[in-house]
Amino acid sequence: MILNKGKILEILTDVEGESEHNKLCEKITFLMQNLGSVKHDKLGILNITKNGDTVDINGEILFSYLDKIRSARTIDRSKYYIQRLIKYIAEEKTGKINDINLNRWKEYDDIITDSLWVLERRDNSGVHSAEYWGNFIPQIPNQLLRRYTKKNEWVLDPFAGSGTTLIEARRLQRNSVGIEINPQVADMALGKLQKDRTIFSENYCAEIIVGDSASLNIKNMLKKLGIDSVQFVIFHPPYWDIIKFSGNKNDLSNCETLDDFLKKFGYILDNSLSVLDSGRYFAIVIGDKYSRGEWIPLGFYVMQEVLKRRHILKSIIVKNFEDTRGKRNQKELWRYRALVGGFYVFKHEYILLFKKGNKG
């Protein structure tokens, strides 16, 4: 609900000055009645004047505070809750890496803080779609960008694919730059970005560059965009050769051996992290693979590559994994194979979250 900020703060400060507990509680009850509807609002808290300063507040949370103030056993306790409510309304408390107002942390109930992500349905709004085989669902960059970047900051995606990160970044008023080795795929991403013209399109950069993230001079690329560094990097590499993305020999999906895949991933890691501000975060989205009767833990191998470089592991998130298009039609076959072969069918992938270390 939208309130007249000056008025509500004035009322709460007045109530806080009350010396008798029952009078304080009566005033809170009166305030609650006034909040019920504009018709009953004799205090003018819901009357928003044209130039008035307003505050947008979650009604449920406001009423739960007012209830606590009213039902506290002592006047000191009631005043303690009033002070907390005043803080909640008046002050903004944000950290260095995002815009989450910690004084209002209860309002961010859609931001995941558990390490198990069960995401039911892909966000297909706007130009987002599942059309590119191997893209990730937009909720992944959405969650990560809101947790690890502030508005107007810069995000790098060295495996940009169909541009999911870039589309999401621009919607969230972040700038982004993506690198994609396959020119046709980069074109597809560009097409989507051009179609997805929102009110923010004009003001936020979402640039897609065709190139090999291992050898491209990322510093120069950023310079051309007028910046020296980025504040978040999201890596979504091919899960080695599970899906062949192109015929290009530098495409990670064309690596002949696991060692080669990890070595090339390491080059991309170093090249990309050289432009990440120190103390900032990066994420790797990766799944494992099953081949010739053996589970190949690509996620753990890749994590090891990062840890070798002394970056700080902050979380291992396990995310549910919906069937790929290929496997969807073969669900029963895979179940049969699993029963025969003594293994489990993949239903998860990882989001590995790191903070750039001193030696990055």
Ligand X SMILES: C[S@@+](CC[C@H](N)C(=O)[O-])C[C@H]1O[C@@H](n2cnc3c(N)ncnc32)[C@H](O)[C@@H]1O
- Closest to ligand X by CB, 88 vs 136, is 136
- Residue 135's SS3 state is coil
- Closest to ligand X by CB, 179 vs 269, is 179
Phi, psi of 155 (to 5 degrees): -120, 140
Q: How far is CA 329 from CA 129, 323, 325, 326, 333, in A?
A: 19, 9, 7, 6, 9
Work out how close the CB of 189 gets to ligand X at its nearest, in angstroms, rounded to a whole number.
Answer: 7
Q: How far is CA 228 from CA 19, 151, 167, 203, 259, in A?
A: 57, 17, 22, 19, 32
Q: Other CB atoms closer than 10 Å to residue 198's CB: what's the count?
A: 13
User: Distance of alpha carbon 247 from its chain centroid, rounded?
Assistant: 32
- Closest to ligand X by CB, 84 vs 348, is 348
Work out how close the CB of 279 gets to ligand X at its nearest, in angstroms, rounded to a whole number.
Answer: 25
Q: CA angle, 231 as apex, 229 and 236 as ends, to 5°?
A: 105
Work out how close the CB of 152 gets to ligand X at its nearest, in angstroms, rounded to a whole number.
Answer: 23
Residue with tokens 């897609």: 208
Task: Estimate the crossing angle of helix 75-90 against helix 59-71, to 10 degrees.
Answer: 160
Distance between first and last Cα of the chain: 45
- Closest to ligand X by CB, 159 vs 346, is 159
Work out how close the CB of 163 gets to ligand X at its nearest, in angstroms, rounded to a whole number.
Answer: 6
- Closest to ligand X by CB, 237 vs 360, is 237
- Closest to ligand X by CB, 18 vs 157, is 157
DSSP-derived pairing of the beta strands 312-320 and 348-355: antiparallel
Work out how close the CB of 236 gets to ligand X at its nearest, in angstroms, rounded to a whole number.
Answer: 4
Work out how close the CB of 141 gets to ligand X at its nearest, in angstroms, rounded to a whole number.
Answer: 8
From edge to edge, which strands make up the β-sheet containing 312-320?
116-117, 312-320, 348-355, 276-286, 230-235, 154-157, 175-180, 206-210
Give CA–CA dist 137/285, Å, rounded.
Answer: 11
Q: Name the closest residue to ligand X (Cβ).
A: 161
Q: Of 69, 79, 81, 86, which Cα lies nearest the Cα of 10?
A: 86
Work out how close the CB of 238 gets to ligand X at its nearest, in angstroms, rounded to a whole number.
Answer: 5
Show the tokens assigned to 189: 């991403």
Work out how close the CB of 128 gets to ligand X at its nearest, in angstroms, rounded to a whole number.
Answer: 9
Give CA–CA dist 119/121, Å, rounded.
Answer: 6
Work out how close the CB of 188 gets to ligand X at its nearest, in angstroms, rounded to a whole number.
Answer: 9
Residues engaged in binding ligand X (CB under 6 A): 132, 134-136, 158-159, 161-162, 164, 179-182, 185, 212-214, 236-238, 245-246, 250-253
